[in-house]
Amino acid sequence: MNYLLGTWKCESTVRGMKRPNTTTYSTTMDGRWILAHDVAPPFDPYRTRAIQTDSWTTYNPLNHLWVTTFVDDFGNYGINTSPGWKGSSMTSTILVANDGTTGHDTLTKLSDTQTKDVAMSSDASGRANPTVTTTCNKQ
């Protein structure tokens, strides 16, 4: 996961619209966690101000899972887990979300400087949310 360290410029497709964001990865807490700090500007009528999200990822050797905890300045939070990399992809499962969202997120390493992420989820009633696809390039 060290290839992620540094700053990435990303573009997400959300509700059919393009949204830019910048994610900076660093290690924290004596190198045991990877911190991802993401900033995205307002981009549509649903999001009229910038959003900042921080997520922390670590490996749990007791249950052999990668664990990610995240919070944002809109009050959202969640916990995802993943068994790890299978080839060039890592799929995470949403375990906890403040709004009852369930789903999966697949990060694919295209190269040391490019990733693609596809997030598919459903709301608390089981209705599918729009798929969010994000492509990032390391700066």
pLDDT 10s digits, 29-82: 999 999 999 999 988 787 789 999 999 999 999 999 999 999 999 999 999 999
Q: Among residues of the chain, what percentage have pLDDT more than 90?
A: 84
For the segment 88-116, the average pLDDT, to the nearest whole number, is: 95
CB 53, CB 38: distance < 8 Å: yes
Inter-CA distances, 104 with 18, 30, 38, 79, Å = 21, 29, 19, 12
Q: pTM for the complete prediction? A: 0.90
- From CA 119, how far away is CA 65, in angstroms rounded? 19
Domains located in the chain, CATH noted:
2-138 (2.40.128.20)
Output the 3-class SS for 64-90.
CEEEEEEEECCCCEEEEEECCEECCEE
pLDDT at residue 136 is higher than 80: yes
Q: What is the separation of C-alpha 83 from the centre of its chain, rounded to a whole number of angstroms?
A: 16
Tokens 């969010």 belong to residue: 132
Angle at 116 between CA 92 and CA 67, to 5 degrees: 25
CB 23, CB 36: distance < 8 Å: yes
